[in-house]
Chain A
């Protein structure tokens, strides 16, 4: 029997959603300050409206939904999916008011893309937007990478009751420390420490490349936020092409590779477990699948003779493949270059890289290396079982922070999530083909959206059909939250209608 949610359940959901939305409003203080510092008054007003709307909505929910009821697992998951939706609706206010979007849906597309660290955008005339709006785009992606729930847990939650339930809902289930709020703070500590170091190197290199000190500083912060969060946004429409620099590429690649690693792995290394780097199943899986994607892309590019020599080919191909595999989406080639120069075979290599994606409990998307490793081990286990005597007990182990025995439940969950990803990739592809796009191109952008990568071959544009925008928003949202929260939200709707 399905139990219909009671008013008290909605109160719990409303109370915690309110807290998260207040967090989004507080985040807008950063771009507001940027706009004020650069004298961008209209942009500042847009952020004040955004802050006001978030605070009114969030505080309004808190006033209306005070309840002594404790949060259950179902509540936690619904809070996450619902608050991500509301954060997108309200976070899009400054975007829309900037006048750079055709519709509010387009503004929401960009905000969802930011939160989910995708990097696809529908913003028009990016090269003339304010520093404030550029700051907001990148703060969105930085905050989204760590998780907006993690932010709320870090700053707005006083007790730990129920905290773990909404933390898990955001696609993160690793506890770095025994207390989940301490875990959230540890995630921020790791990210902020890297922010300082990474931005400093990018700032210096930017000045060496001919950028002025102030613009170099802003670009450094934005590109770091984008690379670390495996986002893909950039302050100029040329993305990483703008810098024309091997040095910038050499600095950004390690940032997005490290950013794509599991926070638990970071924490283990920070706390002295350096062996974890080469023992971890995700790292082994990552380097293996990167090698396969590199080989595919190389084969495609060599076949077409796109680049004049092997060193140049490797430089271009390596950056795009690693950017795709870490689901970053920064690129040193034009979007249409994938179609017009790289060709279908290389694009398949990139699609494979994007589909597999980064590590679990990281800023990245895709199937995740952990699941690929588990499925690979399960296949090996089954093959061994087939060729062994019936009485033999075949044991397979996998190492992620600790060494564990591979059991059917773990494999089942990994397969379920991977199949769900395949489902959303297929959905986006089918819709794209329905609207007349080429199959491979439709698949490229659909996988990019679903895996939160952000590379595009030109399908995503402000003029694409509205339904495709909606489907891509759904893909980004579902892919980032790894489905469980969405299933819970859908279950809530079903319970509302059919429950007793």
Chain B
């Protein structure tokens, strides 16, 4: 049987506010346990929450960026359950009245095609603390530094049809929240976490199969692997005559498998009700207008502009627009050299492989955009060839200065004096008199092949510095007399 996969994702993005969503405590990652937990975060009797306006602004930014309706009045609700790292015995979240309503995000797949993924809602809530089970000799430690960190939970429609699409979607959300400056996107530190709802159905069937939810998958690679594994598990289960049960599962990256955490029957009754300590949040149109005006150019808009303005391919534009920093770098290179295609090739080629090799972010690039742009200028004005440029690039990466300095210091300037090239070619031809004879005796087809040999010899003789165009032209003239 042919199976179709149906995936919906819930992404928790930690908002990059200075302080927590309901208290004044700092939100810095990695502080000593419980040094960033105030009376409110500890759930002390008598304490009350005060909503952080910056979290509301960030949620609105996101809502506007996915073209969603922002609820003019949204309401915080309490989600009640007991857990040691949940100090109040409830999580303050949003249920019936989320701040961000229906929206969508267009994603680009590897083949360059795009798909529109619906976003059901996005709501604000507070993060819980962390339970630490190691190092306490049979007891558990609790760190409440994270408790109260603002989260935006972004819930997609079940519009995703493969693990690859899921990854593309998460990458698009990741790029978007980073563009908006509302989340640092650091998945290793848990700033962006993903729950995957996965089900399968026979191809052509309208209703959905029973879904399983895979909790807290924290890297692009694991999302793909966890979903693929889960899809396989469900298909095998059904084909063996079994039934998928609605449950929560955990993905174990070490074993590359998912395992059951709790079934639907064991699920909590969260007894949601509106939080009486917080007033409904009223969002004025004027506030939204102001937030809208503050939005940066978004990935989709940037991608389209790169295609339109610079004539880049859809693929190149997508790669370059994937992060704001990369896009900014590219634009800076282009601004220096005024050649978008060369700039794109160098950024996506040499620069990317350098960064990959050194495991660096674009912000940490040892070659600045100005340096790279300056080097491309020297390619364009024929000071250096593409081949020499790679040497210059490596020298720039090694910190040897600007392209001009390196070209000067190493004497890499291309030879364009035709007199000098001609005498060099004369020497080459003299040294290869036999081949010259053969060439001249050959037909057109054979000559084509042999011509490359002479070019190679000439470039070698000039240590790569002779202008290849001139070499070609002059060589042809000399050989064919």
The judgment on whether A and B are partners is no
A-side interface residues toward B, CB under 8 Å? none
